[in-house]
Amino acid sequence: MNPAGMIYLAEQNIDDFLPDKYDACENSVRSSEGTLFAMVEDRRGNRALFVSGRAENKFEGGESFEEGTVFPLTLENARKLSEFFSWLKPKIAGSDSAFGCGDRIGLATPGHIRAVEKGDVVPVLAQQSIREMERTGRNPRSVLNTAVWGVFREGFEEGFVADADHLKSRESVEKTASAGYTMFTCDPSEEVENEADRMSSDKLESKFSRIDDSEELVDRYIGKEFTATLDKFDYKYESSFSWKDLMGAAVKYYDAVLFADRMYNWVDEKVNGNFDFEVSVDETENPTSPLEHIFVANELLRRGVNLTSLAPRFVGDIQKAIDYIGDLEKFEEAFKAHCAIAETLGPYKLSLHSGSDKFSIYPIISKYAKDKIHVKTAGTSYLEALRVIAKGNPDLFRRICRIALERFPEDRATYHMTTDLSRIPDVDSLDDDELPELLDQDDSRQVLHVTYGSVLSCEENGEPLFKDELKNVLRKNEERYFSRLKDHIGHHLDLLAGRS
């Protein structure tokens, strides 16, 4: 063993300190406590952690060389490494604006980091719902693992959040908490009574009277004025609950509130220290009214749920992969009210899910909430990966498109979308250089966006049909992939910061 960590200086050529078959990922090179650390890559593109010096014996599963030891990129080794470099440990965003960059394939983190380097927002680099993990054959540990090693590879020291998104059970809270997630997004949608919007007054009344707390609810809400303000904009939202408003909000959301409260306690029991907690009701049938927002947030806060963010279902049509559909003035009016409520009752942040590609509402969000918003994106980075595939391997891209179209009717079931398949050009009639157009056309974007699970998990004779091939093309073209992500996610962040 040659304790290179003791003698390596930044201006020296790091590769002189490595075993012959490896090159260093330059931004990763660090030294600490007499030990040299670097992410290294062999000729075939396999990456590993190189450690040379006193700390070598702390890591697991290594292969020794004269120059030091090379270790696999496991979550355990990432944890050990974070004892030397605390920026490798996921942190919380707290009240700072945050931007979620979900990565369905597991190769995007360096591109995401390049997009967020301007520093306006705290990046959320691991962000997957349990549904997404199931569809892509991943799990909380593997999702976090690829993010952490991406952070090390880039030498990104600003910190990042790991969001366990759309949690619906205690089991998923426990799995994500023990993996090391720092943000927990509670999805109580199974407890939301969407029917409440359509119930007759009699039915509402009888359902309402069955709520244990109904008399206290009446005391808390009936005959009270609710005022929320945005001082900076000289804006005031004032309203009060009619009987119907209260019964509607309570019948619709009361069980969801109880569920979110329980989940908050599950997280609290399991996580040592601080965590971010979001409650998302963004997947309900109808938009969340300002009064419903007041009801949900107030009931959560008075139970001691320390809300970091809340995701209402915003007014208008927020579909996957495409711009906002709806009246921008109405959106602005509602957004302002939600902002004022979040500011006055909390403060906590508003959270916008499916936040990618909604370029027309970004100026409004920027105006009222650029310093107190949480945005989540995921599929849009997958689409950027497909753009790289379309150019790097047109034949693979065509095969992906065909499977996507075949699986779309089934895969769209859990999403609300107005996709018109007849507008999508026939992939076989397009020339190779026309293929990327499918990623600029709304209908084909949506088809490709929601079929990620089928594409990434489909098999033939027990072998993955596309996954490995797709990853290989991305690895071969990774600089193009990262620069696409930098531009595309960066465009969102520029709009959010009010830069363009």
Radius of gyration of the chain (CA): 24
Residue with CB nearest Zn ion?
Answer: 353
Interaction between residue 132 and Zn ion (CB under 5 A): no
Q: How far is the CB of 366 from Zn ion (least distance, A)?
A: 21
Q: Which of residues 320-359 bind Zn ion (CB under 5 A)?
A: 353
Stretch that binds Zn ion, among 24-32, 49-57, 280-288, 457-465 (CB under 5 A): 280-288
Among 132, 278, 442, 443, the active-site one is: 278
Between CA 306 and CA 261 the distance in angstroms is 10
Residue 227 bridge partners (DSSP): 238
Active-site residue flag, 269? no
Measured from the CB atom, the residue of 282 and 299 that comes closer to Zn ion is 282
Q: How far is the CB of 34 from Zn ion (least distance, A)?
A: 46
Supply the DSSP symbol for 27. G
Between CA 4 and CA 223 the distance in angstroms is 73
Measured from the CB atom, the residue of 245 and 282 that comes closer to Zn ion is 282
Measured from the CB atom, the residue of 107 and 297 that comes closer to Zn ion is 297
Residue 50 bridge partners (DSSP): 38, 70
Between CA 52 and CA 35 the distance in angstroms is 6
Residue 42 bridge partners (DSSP): 22
Between CA 378 and CA 412 the distance in angstroms is 16
DSSP string, 74-104: -HHHHHHHHTT-GGGS----TTS-EEEE--S
Among 67, 165, 187, 276, the active-site one is: 165
Q: What does the block give as tokens for 240?
A: 């009060």
Selection from 348, 339, 341 nearest residue 228 by Cα: 341
Between CA 308 and CA 315 the distance in angstroms is 22
Q: How far is the CB of 447 from Zn ion (least distance, A)?
A: 20
Residue 317 bridge partners (DSSP): 325
Burial 247-278 (b: 16+ CB within 10 A, else e): bbbbbbbbbbbbbbbbbbebbeebbeeebbbb
Alpha-carbon dihedral sign for residues 142, 149, 483, 125: positive
Q: How long is the chain?
A: 500
Measured from the CB atom, the residue of 261 and 278 that comes closer to Zn ion is 278
Active-site residue flag, 278? yes
Between CA 237 and CA 339 the distance in angstroms is 10
Beta strands in 355-460 (DSSP E): 373-377, 459-460
Q: Which of 56, 67, 245, 282 binds Zn ion (CB under 5 A)?
A: 282
Between CA 201 and CA 75 the distance in angstroms is 54
Selection from 38, 47, 113 nearest residue 482 by Cα: 113
Selection from 378, 373, 497, 380 nearest residue 439 by Cα: 380
Measured from the CB atom, the residue of 36 and 369 that comes closer to Zn ion is 369
Between CA 428 and CA 431 the distance in angstroms is 8
Q: Are 97 and 169 within 8 A, CB to CB?
A: no
Between CA 471 and CA 467 the distance in angstroms is 6
Between CA 184 and CA 202 the distance in angstroms is 37
Q: How far is the CB of 166 from Zn ion (least distance, A)?
A: 6
Q: How far is the CB of 80 from Zn ion (least distance, A)?
A: 34
* Residues lying near Zn ion in the complex (CB under 5 A): 282, 353
Q: Active-site positions?
A: 165, 278
